[in-house]
Amino acid sequence: LKVLIMALTVLNTDHPHTSFKSSHRFLQQGLLFLFGLFLGHLPLFHGHLPCFLSHLPLFLGQLPLFFGLLLLLGHLLLLGHLLFLLLSRHLVNASLYPYVVSFSSNNKKRL
């Protein structure tokens, strides 16, 4: 837990030697979201992952609807986030990318 908090702090600083570029802030948010999902799933594990997976349909049937929807929404957000990271890596045009970065940095200066 302490190492993860330190890593997120390093990712969040603006020092040029210890931080990612502003375009990588999504990675920091993704790590934080993964950590939140991990903490949220801790009560679900009974010590053995295969045992948990075999009881998953039964457990989901016993979940209150609200918490089941939250769990589903969390997974969908995480998958969408990871898909966005992959697509932004592979599909962003090289000529468009500097414009996007400069546009976001100009907006930050105005704020």
Higher pLDDT: 58 or 104? It is 58
pLDDT digit string (tens) for 59-69?
555 666 666 67
Mean pLDDT of the chain: 59
pLDDT digit string (tens) for 51-91?
555 555 555 556 666 666 777 777 777 777 777 776 666 55
Helix (H) or strand (E) holding 111: none
Tell me the pTM: 0.30
Query: What number of residues does the chain have?
Result: 111
DSSP string, 11-68: HH---TTTS--GGGHHHHHHHHHHHHHHHHHGGG--S-HHHHHHTHHHHHHHS-HHHH
Q: What's the pLDDT at 71?
A: 72
* Domain ranges (residues) in the chain: 2-110
